[in-house]
Chain A
């Protein structure tokens, strides 16, 4: 199979006709993307992998329900998002029942603000993204981490494009406010210092 030539839609057609190798190829194409999407939403790697596994199971079992009017990626992201949302709902209920919502979360402190490195921003940004309201977080992750176009984000979230732009704008503004105490980092980053920020 010539990976560089076959499109996602052609791959889906092969999967629908029963080609298991095509399905393996689809898993390889999307597993990392989905991890970086679902992982940012549920913020737990193990849970994210379980959800992605379930996503692929559903893709396999419901392969005939895919219609070419939507991009394959849109369909896949939609399934993954629905599973992630279900997980978040369950967590809210568990958290409520265990009274954990009464505990206050503390902010992460940077140990040494004078000797800043790009890596120290990672946990702060990660926590700040996690603290966003679910709708804003999803839009922000799809736009600024997954780098999807507005139109596709609108199809995945099933909202108008204007709503997508509004949510992204609000998410960015909230993150900016959250990270304001570390504004010297902004100036480092905005000067184009290309340091990869490690999360772990």
Chain B
């Protein structure tokens, strides 16, 4: 074995981590080579120096600090757990309250319908308005726009539960008297 082969294996030689055959070859080389022998001694000295380094010592009370840190961490986890639990409870309560309010005050049913219009003198709102009344009343009728020339007006029969869509008549019914007067004036002018 040459010097290069020995140098590469010095660490394993010291740790006794080589095969018997290689160990023998290295022993034979080291008997005659001063350079490799010196390198081996340097390696051994480094390892020995590391072995005899004075061990570091913990500061006083280290074990107690570890125990306190664990207790503190456990307590903070408990607090976090309680806070999360309370937040989740609050969340559930909020959702339940919102749902209750929604169902109590929510969309108006026909039975509890509060008229949002007061009607006119000649067309008062009945106490129990129906769908037809809603569409027929001048304040709540769907506004009709003039039907384009050539297009047929939509006609709905009573069986469809929709009012007849006669735009001209519906405009007159829809407009308030004061506006009708304006319309007449417009017609007069034009």
Contact = CB atoms under 8 A, between A and B. Distances in A.
Interface of A: 24, 27-28, 31-32, 35-36, 39, 45, 48-49, 52-53, 56-57, 60-61, 118, 121-122, 125-126, 129, 140, 144-145, 147, 150, 165, 168-169, 172-173, 175-176, 179-180, 183, 185-187, 189-190, 194-200
B41 A190 contact: yes
A27 B53 CA distance: 23
A61 B73 contact: yes
B55 A172 contact: no
Contacts of B69: 53, 56-57
Interface in B14-57: 15, 17, 39, 41-57
Given A176-B39, A176-B42, 10 more contacts: A31-B63, A36-B56, A45-B56, A49-B58, A122-B53, A168-B11, A176-B43, A180-B42, A183-B42, A186-B45
A53 B101 CA distance: 53
Contact of A122 (B45, B54, B57, B65): B54
B62 interface: yes
Contacts of A175: 46
B47 A144 contact: yes
Contacts of B43: 172-173, 176
Minimum-distance CB pairs A-B, first 8? A186-B45, A169-B11, A144-B50, A39-B56, A189-B45, A176-B42, A190-B45, A198-B54
A137 to B, nearest CB: 11
Interface residues of chain A: helix, strand, loop or mixed (majority): helix
A31 B62 contact: yes
A147 B51 CA distance: 9
A139 to B, nearest CB: 11
B67 interface: yes
Given A35-B58, A172-B11, A125 B42 contact: no
Given A32-B58, A36-B55, A169-B12, A53 B65 contact: yes
